[in-house]
Amino acid sequence: MKTIDQMLAEGVAGKRVFVRADLNVPLDGTTITDDGRIRAVQPTVARLAEAGARVVVASHLGRPKGAPDPAFSLAPAAARLGELLGTDVAFATDTVGESARGVVDALADGQVAVLENLRFNPGETAKDDAERGAFADALAGLADLYVGDGFGAVHRKHASVYDLPARLPHAAGLLIATEVGVLRKLTEDVRRPYAVVLGGSKVSDKLGVIDHLLEKADRILVGGGMVFTFLKAQGHEVGSSLLQEDQIPVVQEYLKRAEALGVEFVLPVDVRVAERFPDLKTKAPSDPETVAADAMPAGRMGLDIGPRTSELYAAKLADAGTVFWNGPMGVFEHPDYAEGTAAVAQALIDSPAFTVVGGGDSAAAVRILGFDENAFGHISTGGGASLEYLEGKTLPGLAALED
């Protein structure tokens, strides 16, 4: 895989460089609530601009249905990128139309432009190769070189991720090079004990990674909404908690496999429960109580791991050599149910291990709960991409960057 350093050595001054970034940031109206992904790509954009490239940044945001939707405009992200770069960033109000062509043609050496949301064009996500290819052809007309740096999208077979690199000389950006290096440490060069912490809402989202990591990990700690399918699989009452009943047989099989392989599967010993889901807008108190994980009241739902579980998980991480964490332990957006996620984050900081926060809600939780990002070994920008890599899958966006 060619790197951006090699591309820079060959010279980029005066050339139009298309940077496929991941600016898929959370928005409250037009206000960015977490700019982590923009900050992650800023070094690549800055390096190219400093070398005299005419930088064309493109990304998706959210899930618009192949047509313009103001709610998913990249204008706020473009403005924030300009602030981080300390320079004006031009913004095209379309992807490959008159505005995009005009904005790109007007760029001088060292200047940066951002195109509107790529998913406003149906060709970006089309299943049909010809339709996707036609959009990639139009994007290629805006550039001379391609840099892939949107790690959060490399597991998607989309026009700007998969098809476009085949049409232009290409290289991996600084972010992708870093992400791939970190993931190799989790798969090829692991310091043991290797502990994996999995959370989030649905167990079905993590089945593939559990299946793969059973052969690699020494300990797997489970929290979040997905844990109640595990508890139910052990025969425990889970009240009105999130439950994927159809996944119980799969979970039971994984628990048996873990025992046979000598992998320690760690589940909560207590949970925080309430009668109903809390109000995340007002953050009003929700009258939670802590109960034993094997004695949940029938009418209550589990919303976080309990304090004894937090202590247990911290102890299980204290002597680890490597820790991968993906998924919060509870509804961390509400103060009544943030303690479990905060405890896991602090345990990673306190551990001497090489620690990786696997993107998505876990990365957001680290920032929202006020932890120092530099206290972790690495915070990934791509939750889904990280998981698919750890499952052993071929990621289209990475395959497209191979020479």
Catalytic residue among 2, 101, 202, 367: 202
- Read off the pLDDT of residues 138-181 as tens digits, 9 standing for 90 and up: 999 999 999 999 999 999 999 999 999 999 999 999 999 999 99
Which structure tokens are listed for 327?
Answer: 């998924």
If you write DSSP's letter for every residue of 19-38 in order, what string do you get? EE------EETTEES--HHH
| Paired sense of beta strands 16-20 and 145-148, if any | parallel
- Predicted confidence at residue 189, as pLDDT, reads 80
- Identify the pLDDT of residue 403: 72
Q: Is 24 annotated as a binding residue?
A: yes
pLDDT confidence band for 49 (50 / 70 / 90): very high
Span 198-239, pLDDT tens digits:
999 888 888 888 999 999 999 999 999 999 999 999 999 999
* Residue 253 in marked binding region: no
Q: Can you tell me the distance from the alpha carbon of 165 to that of 115, in angstroms, rounded to the nearest whole number?
A: 17
333 is in an annotated binding site: yes
Rounded CA separation 391/193 (Å):
19
Residue 52: active-site member: no
For this structure, is 2 an active site residue? no
**Residue 11 is labelled as binding a ligand:** no
Mode of pairing for the β-strands spanning 27-28 and 270-274: unpaired
Active site residue 256: no
Between CA 338 and CA 361 the distance in angstroms is: 13
| Phi and psi at residue 135, to the nearest 5° | -70, -40
Catalytic residue (choose from 15, 16, 20, 37): 37
User: What pLDDT score does 90 carry?
Assistant: 98
Q: What is the pLDDT of residue 165?
A: 98
202 is known as an active-site residue: yes
